[in-house]
Structure 1
Amino acid sequence: MRHSLIGIAVATAALAVAGVAAHQPAAKNAAIDAAVAAPTRSPANTARDQYRHPAETLAFFGVKPGDTVVEIWPGGGWYTEILAPLTRGKGTLYAAVPNNGSKGVDALKAKQPALYGPIRVVSFPAAQGQAKVPDGTADVVLTFRNVHNWRMGYQRDGEDYSAEAFKQMYAMLKKGGTLGIEDHRLPENASAERETSSGYIKVSTVRRLAEAAGFQFVGASEVNANKADTADWPNGVWTLPPTYALKDQDRAKYAAIGESDRMTLKFRKP
């Protein structure tokens, strides 16, 4: 009986340690650090590293230079400026863009074709016949501040297509592949209706969507947390920088708060 109790205690302690470890930022990575420091990044983008912590975020997700990486909805190309030099000559980078394309990626490819030209542009969510990431080929799928867009029906006339988006991300990953998600975090005790209007989304909602698609939750990092963000602003998350939806109204106040409080979640395709 005594040996059984000792075994239970050891197992419990091991689980506790594993749980703590899963919630810690990953160690520094030289290849990622070099990509973050790449001189090809725009000064306006590097100025936002203080809020977005790209080196720590990508290290937490375990991105490697030789990976096939998919960036879902790269927008203006903020992370693309880091992922392109990181994977150049070693891995493959897909830019999975909405049906109306991505002016940010197009501009990067036109400006510096040697660096950004190899990026493979596909559609997401991909309809029948559209170019897409081939099933079972990606090592890592990353999306930054986009799950709330799918939940709000952005690009789909208000239709929530987040479940469909997660199914397509699951399909494109290899077995054992990683899904990395960062998004504006809505407190768990907030009204569910706020997910369709504020730009914030609950961690529990993201986990539910991911796990329903077949993903296993690996862990979370607080590297992009911001305790000063109360997530209850008059114009939603867009009240804060970099959007400043209220323009000059209380601008200094919102600048002092900084960018939003964000979840950083890691999932695995079993």
Structure 2
Amino acid sequence: MRKLMFAALAATALASCGSEEPTPEPTQDPARQYMQAVTDISRGDDQQYDAKRKPAELLAFAQIDKGEAVGDYIMGGGYVTRLLATAVGADGKVYAFQPTEFIDFRPEYADEQDAAVAPYANDQGEPVHVFPLRGPIAEPGWPEPLDTIITVMNLHDLFVPEMPEGTAEKAISNLYASLKPGGTLVVVDHVATDGGGLDAAGKLHRMDAELALNALTAAGFVLEEESDLYAQPDDPHDANVFDDVIRGNTDQFAWRLRKPE
């Protein structure tokens, strides 16, 4: 017993010696640093969707930093825009892009864009660090090179038959060119059955992962990391994402792709 006690004391003394490596601190959940963005009052009713959309984890996966210039590509109702607004801070910039094709199809998208950026304007109603953009889906018109672009549940829209031929190739090329060297593109979308191809995009609003990856890497992107953040193994992958049987519970892939330095 005395030998064991002496050994333990000796080990403690060695551990406190300056020549020894410090004891590593417990690994902190990277999502914790984004809780201010998640709890921001400007997010309004968004929080009712947080359990499924996992906003802090998404921002951590995207590696969003204060002061960055970022784009929300096909912003929809502004869920991601409002997260980014707080995540990049007052010294950062968020460009919230709404395609004119979407607004033509559903005019309410224009109102939702206005509502999403309004809380971040100055007293004169002028954008300060969250800026609305509108234009053709393949030409967002980003005003400066971006650190990160995020597109959530919309990549498949580039492949639907209603879009002019070549839209996907043109749009993805634009996203690549709009990033700074070393910048990242984060893509989240509904998973289609393997080989679903263009039919899955048009009929089910799902994205064939192989088709997507081929298109993205052809533009120059390198897949850096894939996350199972939104995995739903019970999704059969062959139901329209708007069907009541699956809506809100689709299996989704999450990719972070990088533009090489």
Aligned pairs for 1:18-29 within 5 A: 27-29=29-31
| Matching of residue 76 in structure 1 with residue 85 in structure 2 | no
| Matching of residue 133 in structure 1 with residue 142 in structure 2 | yes
Q: Normalization by structure 1: what TM-score?
A: 0.74
Larger radius of gyration: 2
Aligned pairs for 1:80-229 within 5 A: 80-99=81-100, 100=103, 102-110=110-118, 113-114=121-122, 117-118=127-128, 119-125=130-136, 132-134=141-143, 137-153=145-161, 156=163, 159=165, 161-190=167-196, 193-229=199-235
The one-letter code matched in structure 1 to 2:187 is I
Deviation at 1:193, TM superposition (A): 2.4
What whole-Å deviation, never above 9, does each CA across 1:94-130 have from its counterpart, x for those lacking one? 1122123632121233466349933222235467xx8
State the secondary structure of the residue aligned to 1:265.
strand
Label 1:108 to 1:134 Cα distance change in 2 as closer, same or farther (>3 A): closer
Deviation at 1:254, TM superposition (A): 4.7
The one-letter code matched in structure 1 to 2:38 is V
State the secondary structure of the residue aligned to 2:42.
coil
Q: Is the Cα contact below 8 Å between 2:137 and 2:171 reproduced in 1?
A: no
Q: Which has the higher contact order (CA 8 A, sep 6+)?
A: 1
- Aligned pair count reads 223
Label 1:67 to 1:228 Cα distance change in 2 as closer, same or farther (>3 A): same
Calculate percent identity across the aligned residue pairs: 26
Deviation at 1:47, TM superposition (A): 1.3
Deviation at 1:215, TM superposition (A): 0.7
Counterpart in the other structure of 2:256: 266
| CA-atom RMSD in angstroms | 2.6
Counterpart in the other structure of 1:41: 43
Q: Normalization by structure 2: what TM-score?
A: 0.76
The gaps in structure 1 that reach 5 residues or longer are: 1-25, 241-252
| Matching of residue 66 in structure 1 with residue 70 in structure 2 | no
Deviation at 1:160, TM superposition (A): 5.5
What whole-Å deviation, never above 9, does each CA across 1:183-237 have from its counterpart, x for those lacking one? 011121546522321101121111111111111111100001112221222xx11
> How many angstroms apart in 2 are the aligned matches of 1:66 and 1:219?
23
> How many angstroms apart in 1 are the aligned matches of 2:184 and 2:120?
29
The gaps in structure 2 that reach 5 residues or longer are: 1-27, 104-108
